[in-house]
Structure 1
Amino acid sequence: MEEKKLDFKSIIGFVLISGVLMWMMYSNAPTKEEQEAKAKQEQVEKEKEEVATKTTTVEPSTTAPVVVNDSIQQAQLKGQLGSFSYSAALPSANGGVTELKSDLLTLKIANKGGYIVNATVNGFDQFEKGSNKTIDLIKENNSHLNLTINTTDNRTLNTKDLFFEPTLTKEGENQVLTMRLKASETQFLEYRYVLKPNDYMMDFAIRSQGLNSVVNASKPADLEWQLKTYRNEKSISYENRYTEMVFEYENGKDDYLSAAKDDDDIVEDVTYVAFKQHLFTSILLTDTPFKTATLKSENLVHDEEIDTLFTKNYVANFPLEFKNGELNYNMNMYYGPSKYDILNSYERNLDEIMPLGWGIFGWINRYVFIPAFGVISGFLPYGLAIVFFTILVRLVMSPVTYKSYVSQAKMKVLRPEIAELNEKYKDNAMKKQQETMKLYSKAGVNPMAGCLPALMQMPVFYALFQFFPSMFDLRQQGFLWADDLSSFDAVYQLPFTIPFYGDHVSLFPILASVAIFFYMKMTTGDQQMSAPTQEGMPDMGKIMKVMLYISPIMMLFFFNNYASGLSLYYFISNLITIGIMLVIKNYIVKEDKIHAKIQENKTKEKKESKFQKKMREMMEQAEAQKAKQNKK
């Protein structure tokens, strides 16, 4: 192929074309005045963008409203009045937020959706004290509040996708933020937030004005509140165990969804819903009960080594009824500690959010343990307060311990005679039972007396089991080697994980297990374990021997991830009980005196009670019937 060469005519053509292009660029260049005007325009646009996106931190006026973003009114599209349809390309659609802050709470409310996008509980650290990680109940899109509205032109609007106009004012010491979703200046949907100083409870209202012709009031607006709860404590398994949705319905009844698995429910006349996170909680309350509520709780912890960020996903849906074509709901929001004193102070049944136990167990916690511990912890550090509290509880229960030990001592004294009866009537179980009951009656011994004191202690035992996990005051309070009495007291981190035990070694559960072993050793004893077994009955001696070793091991595994304050209580409690029993055994109750008293009782004529008489007659009839059958 012939090679093309650059000739003289081509060079002249390139030069002419270049000259024409340079002349066109020069003639179209902006003048100095035009350049200055353009720079001004760019500066104005930049300032508008900064105003729309920045967080409001100015002190609000006490007399006139402060419009945080003037440009938001430009977002309404002419010709779409009443549709709430905003252009995402306009200056208002850039995700601006308004901040409300008090000593207790820091809240950020977004223009888009008009709901809280950040809720920080001030003054507390995440995981451990001094971590400098704040307690953020809401952050990074883990929550939303959405109102679904049906329009007269058969469309469905979701407020979380639309942009509100914020106005921040002050009423006395209260900060008031009004978020309006406008169809016009006189037609709007409004969210109103009122943050008060030194209060975790905030006023919240949803109302509308002039929307009769815009919304389809025959269908309720659907309010959806959702929260994906962040983990805030050291042990995700322990925290998740007490993370649950609690609600009040039908004039004061309360209930909850399962904390262990996915759960849901539909309830009527709901007055509050609490998204509880063990030691912190988020609550939505209403003055006008929600006609119905659809509640869902999803457990997000399936593998504790992998699922370490979130605990639960909560969703609550409430239909909001229109009255005369408008919405008007006065509500409250609470973001703060799950602390009994604070929740109870609102006098709205919020103390039911605390897992204090049902019936008598909750009563003991509310009216005995919480006030008593509050007084003690008022002048002692929390670790010493638990020790002092434990001593007080054991001293109050010492008469029960005394009764139990005396009953055991009486049974021990009678054991040789019972063994003789067992041998004498080994071929006649009915007669053996009759003679044994006669012996008990003559000696003035109740074989059930040892069980009754133990049953009396059960309500106290269970109440305390619920008390310590509910005590917010123990959070990140140290004692000895434990740096957080509301969590486990790890003294050694294992390089592996033991099923049902964990990846660490907690010391207080070990000490409590050792104390339980010696306590059970004292209360059972070799003689009691080797007691003769009734025919047809299980060998209680062997069962108790097995329980002597199983109970401490169960304690060791079960409490390794529990609050160290609870393990500390059981350790001190068993030490004190062992001490009390040693005093009773060595200085108060003497077996020779008990034996003498029993022998004295045998010589006395004792009137048979109606119950004893009835039992004796029933046994005699049964024996006679058996003898009659044997003759046949």
Structure 2
Amino acid sequence: MEEKKFDFNSLIGFVLIAGILIWMLYQNAPTPEELEEKARIENLEKQNAEKPQEVKTIDTSAIPIQDSGLEVNDSLQLEKLKNQLGSFAYAASLPSATDAVTTIENDVLELKVSNKGGYIVEATLKNYKTYDSIPIYLIKDGNASLNLQFQAENRLLNTKDLYFEPTLSQSGNNQILSMKLKTSETSYLEYRYELKPGEYMLDFAVQTKGLSSVINTSEPAQMEWQLKAYRKAKSVSYENRYTELIWEYEGGKDDYLGQGKSKEDEAKDVTYIAYKQHFFTSILLTDTPFKSTRFLSENLVEDEEIDTVYTKNFVTKFPLEFKTGELAYTMNWYYGPTDFKILDGYDRNLDEVVPLGWGIFGWINKYLFMKLFTWLSVWLPNYGIVIIVMTILIKIALSPVQYKQYLSQAKMKVLKPEIEELTKKYKDNAMKKQQETMKLYSKAGASPMAGCLPALMQLPVFYALFMFFPSAFQLRQKGFLWADDLSSYDSVIDLPFYIPFYGDHVSLFPILASIAIFIYMMMTMGQSMQMQQQPGMPNMKFIMYLSPLFMLVFFNNFASGLSLYYFISQVITIGIMLFIKYFILDEEKILARIEENKKKPKKQNRFQKKMSEMMEQAEQQKQLQQKKKK
């Protein structure tokens, strides 16, 4: 038998291997900090085991999920994540636990969805630009967030701090993006986005699978949607005036948060929430109404010289309720223009987002002016011409009413000498003067109120148009003459300084409209000044100067399309008045007709008879009191 010899080379090999193993053990030995963290975790687990009746909720929103000094697959890091997130630590251990984004897009809309939070972090409208030629971003650079807060394994978790795993697929021409916040491969919370070609609206679903044993389903999850609205127009103050939060509730009712520094409200059974930024809107719609919803709108424009980036901050909070231990909500997102035609086409009552006015004003705009404007825009080459032709047609339609108004003013002008005589005759007896004046009006077939009623009849039309033109999306960035955008002011001079309430520019259309209003007021001042002599009437001369000044100052920042309408409207009104005065009405014929009416026995109606009796009784009582004093 051969005797084994000692192999010196083998000894060297074993020594080297042992040295390498010792060096590796030394390098991988836990640091004192890691040993301390492990001891803390073991101590915490021991305390939890000893006191199972104490439930402590941990808010993870303020805790960083990953420690940049450790790898995710490190056992201690996994323990730390499990301590922070419980079963949702699985999501943080996946390769998708980064700030990467996934893009879905069609020919009109591009959306970027972040792995962190699973929500849309950038929304771009491809076919539109801001006043300074920058693409329209409804969401960008952290101005919006969507967070779902829920309790899971004695922890309060916020999805905006957690990582979703994206899966992009195709269904026909539709793009589908599934964002899953996982506790395992078969258990997850999912945000599902589906975008169709050519659509500003996309399907959105919030659903869970296999989480009933992880999440506390006895309490609803709380969702919060926040957005800071970017400025997109030349005048931040004008855009801010039409930037507001709108919602639909209780089966078709709608409401909104008006202007103010900070506004809050609540509603039940909410079916959509709209963050309207004048001409562009972000909307969240739901098939299952949110039972209780809280709204907040904060005005971010305190000084329009300084606050030039954002207009308002919107926040909405609402519950998502679990059914049979799971979430299953079918919703929609809309990111697009505040265009009546587009919104009305979805048949979801979204046309209420366009501020056409309430009651009869909205009805006039929706069923009359909107259709007329659309029809004219098909046949006419420019929207400025559309406004002019539309104004002419409306003024012609109202000309019979204006004729009655001017006829009443002409009668009052003819009666003015007789009224002045009554004023002198009964200057010490106001009651008698009023009584005789009413008798004169009755005999002549005239009334000072006859001129007011036609004017009141025109008010719904004027107010409806005041609401219509600022809301007409078609006017956006459409030029006419010197105005490069009929939806914004028509600056012809840029001032090197800022004037409070006026701005840092000079708009021409408001100046022209102010001049036209002043001429109109001068033409009608004669009768107004006569009326002003009666007690209790306002100073008409003051009003004559105030109206043009109001137009000049406050409309300097308004849409030039609206100022163009007022200018053309006043010019046409002046033209109609001159035509009626010189070609239709004859003051001599009016006077002759009044004299004929005086000769005819005038039968008083019940109201006039009652008023005459009351005035006669008052006059008799006054005479009796004077006799007693004597």
Under a length normalisation based on structure 2, what TM-score does the superposition of the two structures give? Answer: 0.85
Post-superposition CA distance 1:409-462 (Å, at most 9, x none): 000001111111111122222221111111111111122110001111111111
Matches within 5 A, 1:15-54: none
Post-superposition CA distance 1:486-505 (Å, at most 9, x none): 00000010010111100000
Alignment partner of 1:244: what SS? strand
Provide the rounded CA distance (Å) in 1 between the counterparts of 2:90 and 2:470. 48
Provide the rounded CA distance (Å) in 1 between the counterparts of 2:105 and 2:275. 22
- Equivalent position of 2:214 in the other structure: 214
> Percent identity between the aligned chains?
65
Contact 2:196 2:202 in 1 (8 A): yes
- Equivalent position of 1:353 in the other structure: 353
Provide the rounded CA distance (Å) in 2 between the counterparts of 1:85 and 1:630. 98
Cα 1:248–1:626 change in 2 (3 A) is same
Where structure 1 has 5 or more consecutive residues not aligned to the other structure, the ranges are: 1-23, 29-72
Give the CA deviation at 1:259.
Answer: 2.6
Post-superposition CA distance 1:373-428 (Å, at most 9, x none): 01111122111111111111111111111111000000000111111111112222
Contact 1:250 1:269 in 2 (8 A): yes
Residue 575 of structure 2 is aligned to residue 579 of structure 1: yes
Residue 258 of structure 2 is aligned to residue 251 of structure 1: no
Provide the rounded CA distance (Å) in 1 between the counterparts of 2:485 and 2:73. 53
Give the CA deviation at 1:206.
Answer: 0.2
Give the CA deviation at 1:74.
Answer: 8.4
Counterpart residue type for residue 502 of structure 1: G
- Equivalent position of 2:53 in the other structure: none
Provide the rounded CA distance (Å) in 2 between the counterparts of 1:528 and 1:125. 49
Q: Which moved more, 1:95-104 or 1:408-417?
A: 95-104
Provide the rounded CA distance (Å) in 2 between the counterparts of 1:87 and 1:164. 7
Where structure 2 has 5 or more consecutive residues not aligned to the other structure, the ranges are: 1-15, 21-71
Of residues 557, 569, 572, the one that matches 2:565 is 569
Contact 2:355 2:471 in 1 (8 A): yes
Of residues 588, 593, 603, the one that matches 1:592 is 588
Provide the rounded CA distance (Å) in 2 between the counterparts of 1:455 and 1:105. 46
- Equivalent position of 1:205 in the other structure: 205
Post-superposition CA distance 1:26-61 (Å, at most 9, x none): xx9xxxxxxxxxxxxxxxxxxxxxxxxxxxxxxxxx
- Equivalent position of 1:475 in the other structure: 476
Matches within 5 A, 1:30-179: 80=82, 83-85=87-89, 91-128=95-132, 131=133, 133-151=134-152, 153-179=153-179
- Equivalent position of 1:622 in the other structure: 618
- Equivalent position of 1:182 in the other structure: 182
- Equivalent position of 1:463 in the other structure: 464
Contact 1:86 1:162 in 2 (8 A): no
CA RMSD of aligned residues (A): 2.0
Count of matched residue positions in the alignment of Structure 1 and Structure 2: 554
Cα 1:226–1:532 change in 2 (3 A) is closer
Cα 1:487–1:464 change in 2 (3 A) is same
Provide the rounded CA distance (Å) in 2 between the counterparts of 1:287 and 1:531. 59
Provide the rounded CA distance (Å) in 2 between the counterparts of 1:371 and 1:301. 35
Provide the rounded CA distance (Å) in 2 between the counterparts of 1:185 and 1:82. 16
Residue 608 of structure 2 is aligned to residue 612 of structure 1: yes
Give the CA deviation at 1:82.
Answer: 6.3
Give the CA deviation at 1:530.
Answer: 4.6
Provide the rounded CA distance (Å) in 2 between the counterparts of 1:83 and 1:615. 84
Matches within 5 A, 1:256-335: 256-335=256-335
Post-superposition CA distance 1:128-150 (Å, at most 9, x none): 4xx2x100000111111111110
Counterpart residue type for residue 360 of structure 1: I
Alignment partner of 1:306: what SS? coil
Provide the rounded CA distance (Å) in 2 between the counterparts of 1:74 and 1:609. 96
Provide the rounded CA distance (Å) in 1 between the counterparts of 2:210 and 2:605. 81
Alignment partner of 2:485: what SS? coil
Provide the rounded CA distance (Å) in 1 between the counterparts of 2:125 and 2:142. 17
Post-superposition CA distance 1:569-593 (Å, at most 9, x none): 0001100110010000000011011
Provide the rounded CA distance (Å) in 2 between the counterparts of 1:433 and 1:531. 13
Provide the rounded CA distance (Å) in 2 between the counterparts of 1:486 and 1:418. 49
Alignment partner of 1:378: what SS? helix
Of residues 545, 568, 578, the one that matches 1:549 is 545
Give the CA deviation at 1:528.
Answer: 4.5
- Equivalent position of 2:10 in the other structure: none
Counterpart residue type for residue 206 of structure 2: I
Cα 1:372–1:532 change in 2 (3 A) is closer
Cα 1:375–1:87 change in 2 (3 A) is closer
Cα 1:407–1:215 change in 2 (3 A) is same
- Equivalent position of 2:506 in the other structure: 505
Alignment partner of 2:215: what SS? coil
Provide the rounded CA distance (Å) in 2 between the counterparts of 1:333 and 1:226. 14
Contact 2:419 2:437 in 1 (8 A): yes
Give the CA deviation at 1:327.
Answer: 0.4
- Equivalent position of 1:67 in the other structure: none
Give the CA deviation at 1:549.
Answer: 1.4
Post-superposition CA distance 1:554-607 (Å, at most 9, x none): 110010000000000000110011001000000001101100110111111122
Contact 1:187 1:209 in 2 (8 A): yes
Alignment partner of 1:85: what SS? helix
Contact 1:86 1:163 in 2 (8 A): no
Provide the rounded CA distance (Å) in 2 between the counterparts of 1:255 and 1:287. 19
Give the CA deviation at 1:89.
Answer: 8.0
